Structure formats: structure tokens, C-alpha cells
């Protein structure tokens, strides 16, 4: 299932839900402190972000531990609860499978994560146009605004209508101006935040990740700003 999820994002939420009640493995120092749990983390060489590794089986965990730390079996649900706030990485020596704190929080609450399929507009060949909103979906906007306050990388968020060739109706597009190094994290956090409110707009929803300097982008010019980092 994990292998299938790497090529099919629709399976990611299913994998996370299954992991809640599965025994997984974490790394801990040999000299544990009596009053707290300590987990091993490492800095990713590709983006210098701190992640907490966990493993789908004991042998993978032992290989990563290399005798320098201990391997501890733990129910997935407990791993998620005890490490909430950290970014987790599953089997880091084999796959690039990252779970961000906002996604973990949602799955612990029983909120479906859904999935997002990325595409690059410049390479898609699609004809697109931007239109202003007649009204802002209140609950969705509040959920997105609340999530933005928790993500320092987000500078602003706009809502607009996206008209795309081949779609009978426009989609709602949430355009986020964010630091490029955090784009994957921000996109997946916003995706998690909007899941309980997908029915409110009564239309498909897209997320556009923009650079903070993209002040003249059509979504910024014609859209409705629902979150500014600074007034």
C-alpha cells in the first residue's frame, strides 16, 4: 500500500489511517530521561529541515540506528500523539514520505485528509482566466485564515475564481504567497485545513502556490485577500 501511495496520492490518507493502529518503530537515545520521551531527529541534507524518522518494520529501523541508538516499537497512534508538532519521515532510507504536523493533527481528529494532484500551469497547455468572487465562503475562509496564522512562511492568501478550458464551471482557487522553501509544507497544510469545508463552495478547489514577489499575478490583482501576514 505504501508503494502504491508513492505513485497514487489518493492512497496517502488510507495509509495514514492504517498506521494509527499498526506497530511501527522509532529511534530513541540509549540513556532515556525518566520524566520524558526523547526521539531521535535528523536534518535533511536536501532542504536542511529537521525531521523525525519512523519505520514500517524493525529491520529498517535497526539499519538506520546502526547500534548508536535504540529501536523502540510503538503504536502509530502513540507516535503521532507523542511527537505532535514535529515533521515525520517514514523509512527515510527508502522513500521520500513526509508527514507534516497539520496533517497528523487532522488524522488524529478523524478528519479525512483527501489528496491534492499537482500540476504546473506553464507546462499544462490549459487555457485559464481569473475572475473575482461574488461572495467568500465563510467557513472555508476562516479555516484557511486560521491555518495561515500558524505558518510563518505564508505572506498572504487570496481567493478567486479560476476558469479553465474543459471545465463546465469555474473552480475556487486559493492563491498563497509563501517562501519557496516551505511550499510543499504550506500546500499540504492548507489542503488539510480545507477538508471539512469542501462542500461549502459547491465547486472544485485549487491551490496555487506563488512567490511573495508575485504581487502582479492575476489572482492577486483580481482576487479577494483573506489573509495578510502584515496589515
On the question of pLDDT at 12 being above 90, the answer is no
On the question of pLDDT at 41 being above 90, the answer is yes
pLDDT (0 to 100) of residue 45: 80
Strands (E), 35-170: 42-43, 50-55, 70-75, 88-90, 97-99, 128-131, 154-164
Q: Residues of 89-116 as b/e, b for ≥16 C-beta within 10 angstroms?
A: bbbbeeeebbbbbbbbbbbeeeeebbbb
3-class SS of residue 31: coil
The per-residue pLDDT for range 192-220, each reduced to its tens digit, is 999 999 888 888 898 999 999 999 999 99
Q: Is 12 left (phi over 0), alpha (psi -120 to 50) or beta?
A: alpha
2-108, CATH topology level: Trna Endonuclease; Chain: A, domain 1 (3.40.1350)
Distance CA 1, CA 151 (A): 31
pLDDT (0 to 100) of residue 26: 97
pLDDT (0 to 100) of residue 88: 95
Handedness of CA 182, 183, 187, 193 (dihedral sign): positive
CATH number belonging to the domain at 121-228, selected among 2.40.50, 3.90.550, 2.40.160, 3.30.300: 3.30.300
pLDDT (0 to 100) of residue 67: 92
pLDDT (0 to 100) of residue 49: 86
Where residue 134 falls among pLDDT bands split at 50, 70, 90?
Answer: confident
Taking the domains of the chain in order of start, what are their residue ranges?
A: 2-108, 121-228
The per-residue pLDDT for range 68-121, each reduced to its tens digit, is 999 999 999 999 999 999 999 999 988 778 899 999 999 898 887 776 666 555
pLDDT (0 to 100) of residue 115: 66
Amino acid at each position: 500500500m505504501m508503494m502504491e501511495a508513492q505513485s497514487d496520492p489518493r492512497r496517502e490518507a488510507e495509509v495514514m489511517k492504517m498506521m494509527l493502529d499498526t506497530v511501527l518503530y522509532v529511534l530513541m537515545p540509549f540513556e532515556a530521561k525518566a520524566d520524558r520521551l526523547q526521539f531521535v531527529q535528523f536534518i535533511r541534507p536536501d532542504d536542511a529541515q529537521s525531521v523525525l524518522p519512523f519505520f514500517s518494520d524493525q529491520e529498517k529501523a535497526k539499519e538506520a540506528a546502526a547500534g548508536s541508538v535504540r529501536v523502540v516499537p510503538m503504536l502509530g497512534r502513540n507516535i503521532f500523539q507523542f511527537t505532535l508538532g514535529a515533521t515525520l519521515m517514514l523509512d527515510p532510507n527508502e522513500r521520500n514520505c513526509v508527514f507534516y504536523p497539520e496533517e497528523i493533527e487532522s488524522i488524529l481528529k478523524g478528519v479525512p485528509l483527501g489528496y491534492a494532484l499537482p500540476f504546473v500551469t506553464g507546462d499544462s497547455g490549459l487555457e485559464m482566466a481569473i475572475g473575482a468572487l461574488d461572495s467568500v465562503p465563510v467557513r472555508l475562509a476562516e479555516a484557511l485564515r486560521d491555518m495561515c496564522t500558524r505558518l510563518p512562511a505564508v505572506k498572504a492568501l487570496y481567493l478567486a475564481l479560476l476558469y479553465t478550458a474543459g471545465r463546465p464551471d469555474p473552480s475556487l482557487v486559493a492563491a498563497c504567497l509563501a517562501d519557496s522553501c516551505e511550499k510543499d509544507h504550506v500546500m499540504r497544510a492548507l489542503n488539510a485545513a480545507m477538508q471539512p469545508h469542501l462542500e461549502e463552495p459547491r465547486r472544485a478547489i485549487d491551490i496555487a502556490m506563488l512567490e511573495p514577489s508575485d504581487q502582479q499575478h492575476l489572482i492577486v490583482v483580481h482576487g479577494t485577500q483573506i489573509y495578510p501576514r502584515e496589515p
